[in-house]
Amino acid sequence: MDNDVYGHVNNVTYYSYFDSTINRYLIEQGGLDIHSAKIVGYVVSSSCQFRRPVAYPDSISVGLRVSKLGNSSVTYELGIFRESEEEAAAHGQVVHVFVDRDQNCSVPMPAQIRHCLKEILAAQVSAEEI
């Protein structure tokens, strides 16, 4: 997944960065077993806004937070940053709905996952504070 013919990381690769970041967080902090967990998160929506290109071998980091936490769904916000830059090269959203893998229907998210998602829940800001 190095540079494409235009000399930068292809746009679709950013979604891979998002997916890897979310899953790693859920595995490490929420105890998700991606291979055998009965309840897993399915991506139902995703978007990305590209601000400036990233090119291999740029070093990047991905910021992750939760903007909305429901009973069976979560909205993540992510930013991709080049090393030493404070402004995101790209930012986006991903929505997971937690489902029973066998029945393929939405269910409440597991308590341990909910707890770890609360840890990165962004503070809500009222219109008066903006």
Residue type, 7: G
Is residue 114 a contact partner of residue 71, using CB atoms and an 8 Å limit?
no
CATH superfamily of 11-123: Hotdog Thioesterase (3.10.129.10)
Describe the crossing of helices 11-30 and 111-119 by its angle, rounded to 10 degrees: 120
Express each pLDDT in 8-30 by its tens digit. Answer: 898 889 999 999 999 999 999 99
Q: What is the pTM of this model?
A: 0.89
Given a cut of 50, whether residue 58 has pLDDT beyond it is yes
Check the CA dihedral 72-39-67-8 and report its sign.
negative
Mean pLDDT of 56-61: 92
Structure tokens at 128: 């008066």
Distance CA 30, CA 51 (A): 31
Chain segment 66-125, per-residue pLDDT in tens? 999 999 999 999 999 999 899 999 999 999 999 999 999 999 999 999 999 999 999 764
Q: Return the closest-CA partner of residue 120 out of 73, 67, 41, 79.
A: 67
Residue ranges of domains in the chain:
11-123
